[in-house]
Structure 1
Amino acid sequence: MPLDITLRQLRAFIAVLDSGSFSEAAQTMHLSQAALSGLIKELEGRLGVRLLDRNTRSVGVSVVGSAFEPMARRVLAATEDAVQSVTNLKDLRRGLIRVAAPEPLSCTLLPELIAGYVERYPGVDVRFDDVPIEQVLSNLHSGSSDLGFGPAGVLADDAVEAHMIRVDPLWAALRRDDPLAASDSVSWQDLRERALINYMPNLALNVLSHVPQRHHPGNVVPVHRVNTALALLKFRPGYVICPSMSRSLVEGFGLAFLPLRQPAVTWRIAIFARQRDALSPAVESFLDYALDMAATWDGSRPTPKTKQHHNK
């Protein structure tokens, strides 16, 4: 089909066929009859064929026009579908969001956050990928994830922005038969002789660099997942460090969970996202939703100004 054929010309042709009259078709399209006739003539001129047979009393479709009609209707229907699809995406009646996060965020913060968003926008499909922290940024760069969550210490770059959403103190999980479990809190010095069952990558940089050397754990048992660390702690002496938000997870393993002090060390959590002008409406709305929710987690953080979306 020539590229200079317009949708307005096709609509005029279909309007004449549906009404059987130039005058009624002109009224339907809110045009003068002369303007409608001009659109039909332009269309026939572009195609180089007569689509309509006209006389003083009636108008009918030509043989070529009859063959052209279903194609014209398909073009108009496809255009309407495309416009409706974009409208649905814009109004958050449809959309896809792919989120990546490591433990313990994947089994503490993210399920509730995603559930709250989906309740507000049930037409949007939120897909969650539980990945190691080092894979969060690589997923964003490859396009396999739209948003990532993780420790704010992970470096972003020019293509990825880090939005800090929470500062969470680290606590210590202990067996309930550990003598320290009866305390209100524990110190790094208290734990010095116990084995640290560690799932955190970059423990030395992100955690122990804030703790005096003399209080560093004498024995570190490495594992890959927080659930593995907590399950292992049930059957051997030691302790596991988790952000305080992990309390329900830790207690679900039947363990004690105490504030870790002297010194208190925090875990800074961020959302990683591409620049806003590269985000779809659904992804941008999820980012705004998460930032709004973050204001309720940390009262010291001002409520962000966000673009308002309305579910129509």
Structure 2
Amino acid sequence: MALPRFTPRQLDACIAAAELNSFSQAAKRLHLSPSAISNLITDLELSLGFALFERTTRKVVLTAAGREFLPAALAVQRQISRAQAAAIEIRNHATDIVRVAAPMAIAATLLPPLLAEYCAVQPRTSVRIVDAAVEWLGDRVSIGEADLAIGPVRHSHSDVEHVLLFESEWVLWLAPDDPLIGMPQLGWGDLSGRRVFAAGRDHEDSIKPQISMVFGDEEMPEVEVVESLVTALGMAAAGLGVTFSPKYVEPLGSKLGVIARPVEGPSAVRRVALYKSAIRPQSEPARELEAFLTKRLHPPLNP
């Protein structure tokens, strides 16, 4: 029997559909039409000799054979990503390009002035920011999509190491005319009856323990999760509620018109680290940028 033959694009379509349980959502992720996704998966199934998905009018789900095949497809996809990253890295070594992954809160506040300062003294080095969610920072470094990453401390891959850069306290962000602004001290209990916005599950998980320590289950303010830090700060600026973020987002907060206030009582601290590969050699520009960022961000910029 001939070996099955398939293409990376077919595997991408299969993996996206499996993760999203939808051909249409997979199409949006891959910037293709739903019919193109359907055709790619059908061709893959014909090559494999078995069905990957059970199709209904509402969603698609993996068959038993599909669930068994998915880990192998993910492994191939990961190896292809490594090969692509290796090619990019070889090209970047010759052109002094360094890629730094960071979540939006850091990419929009901490990094720009630091990179402007660095590029002023190292004009031959081109530094590119790779936008990445907090939970994907280690992956971006592991597969070679980024040379360095800066973000909250998280458990990562065994082939990625990190060094602590600084700690930043979580603060409350308020509209200038918010009644809480005039209070000499703010405690968690002062949030009773207030709408609290969290920028993603990461922020929600960071502040909920402090709120739950003060309020009972019935009295605890509801934490409304929005996807973007800009949205959370914008809602606070309009007086629609309050939000919490690490103090280092102050450049963004001030532009949106919100004011930072510390909260007395159980505190939360955001620990920020620099990530790099533990097994892949760094280019000289990447080592130089790492040394610069480490020197500028450690010891901490924020109390």
Q: TM-score range by the shorter chain?
A: 0.5 to 0.7
Query: For the residues of structure 1 that align with 2:192 and 2:273, how far apart are their CA atoms?
Result: 30
- 1:112 alignment partner, SS class: helix
Residue 113 of structure 1 and its aligned partner are, at CA, apart by: 1.7
Look up the match of 2:116: 115
For the residue of structure 1 that corresponds to 2:298, the secondary structure is helix
Range with bigger deviation, 267-276 or 204-213:
204-213
**Which residue of 1 is the match for residue 196 of structure 2?**
196
Match of residue 176 from structure 1: 176
- AA aligned to 1:190 is D
2:292 maps to 289
How big is the shift at 1:204?
5.2
SS of the counterpart of 1:104? helix
- Counterparts of 1:130 and 1:262, CA distance in 2: 34
- Distance of aligned partners of 1:233 and 1:214 in 2 relative to their CA distance in 1, 3 Å threshold: same
Larger radius of gyration: 1
Per-residue CA deviation, residues 11-50 of structure 1 (Å, 9 max, x unaligned), is xxxxxxxxxxxxxxxxxxxxxxxxxxxxxxxxxxxxxxxx
Match of 1:271 among 268, 274, 279: 274
> How far apart, in 2, do the equivalents of 1:201 and 1:285 lie?
34
* Aligned position for 2:145: 144
Question: How many residues get paired?
Answer: 210
Contact (CA 8 Å) 2:170, 2:245: kept in 1 or not? yes
User: By how many angstroms is 1:185 displaced?
Assistant: 4.2
Distance 2:115 2:229 in 1: 21
1:253 deviation in Å?
Answer: 1.3
* Structure 2 gaps, min length 5: 1-89
| Cα deviation 1:277-307 (Å, max 9, x = unaligned) | 621111111111111112353599xxxxxxx
Q: Is the 8 A contact 2:168 2:271 kept in 1?
A: yes
How has the CA–CA distance of structure 1 residues 128 and 186 changed in structure 2, closer, same or farther, with 3 Å as cutoff?
same
Q: Which residue of 2 aligns with 1:209?
A: 209
Gap change, CA 1:184 and 1:105, over 3 Å in 2: farther
Query: What's the secondary structure of 2:272's corresponding residue?
Result: strand
Q: Residue 261 of structure 1: CA displacement?
A: 2.3
| Paired residue type of 2:227 | H
SS at match of 1:261: coil
2:165 alignment partner AA: I
Give the secondary-structure state (helix, strand or coil) at the position aligned to 1:297: coil
2:113 maps to amino acid: E
Deviation at 1:165, TM superposition (A): 0.4
Q: Distance between the aligned counterparts of 2:113 and 2:184, measured in 1?
A: 28
1:30-109 maps to which residues of 2 (within 5 A)?
95-109=96-110
CA distance change for structure 1 residues 284 and 210 in 2, over 3 Å: closer, same or farther? farther
Partner amino acid, structure 1, of 2:123? P
Looking at structure 2, the residues matched to 208 and 130 of structure 1 have their Cα atoms a distance apart, in angstroms, of 26
Determine if contact 1:276/1:284 at 8 Å carries over to the other structure: no
- Measured against aligned partners, the alpha-carbon deviations of 1:46-96 in whole angstroms (never above 9, x if no partner) come to xxxxxxxxxxxxxxxxxxxxxxxxxxxxxxxxxxxxxxxx9xx69xxx511
- Residue matched to 1:49: none
Aligned 8 A contact 1:184 1:258 in 2: no
Instruction: Name the CA shift for 1:288/1:189 in 2 (closer, same or farther; >3 Å).
Output: same
Segment of structure 1 superposing worse, 180-189 or 205-214: 205-214
TM-score by length of 1: 0.61
TM-score, length-normalised on structure 2? Answer: 0.63
- Counterpart of 1:239 in structure 2 is 242
The percent of aligned pairs where both chains have the same amino acid is 22
Aligned to 2:258: 255
Alpha-carbon displacement from aligned partner over 1:87-118 (angstroms, at most 9, x marks no partner): xx69xxx5110011112111111111211211
Q: 1:280 — aligned with what?
A: 283
One-letter amino acid matched to 2:131: D
1:256 & 1:204 partners in 2: Cα distance?
20
For 1:258 and 1:160, how far apart are their aligned partners in 2?
Answer: 35
Give yes or no for contact 1:175–1:255 (8 Å, CA) kept in 2.
Answer: yes
**Distance (Å, rounded) in 2 between the aligned partners of 1:213 and 1:164:** 28
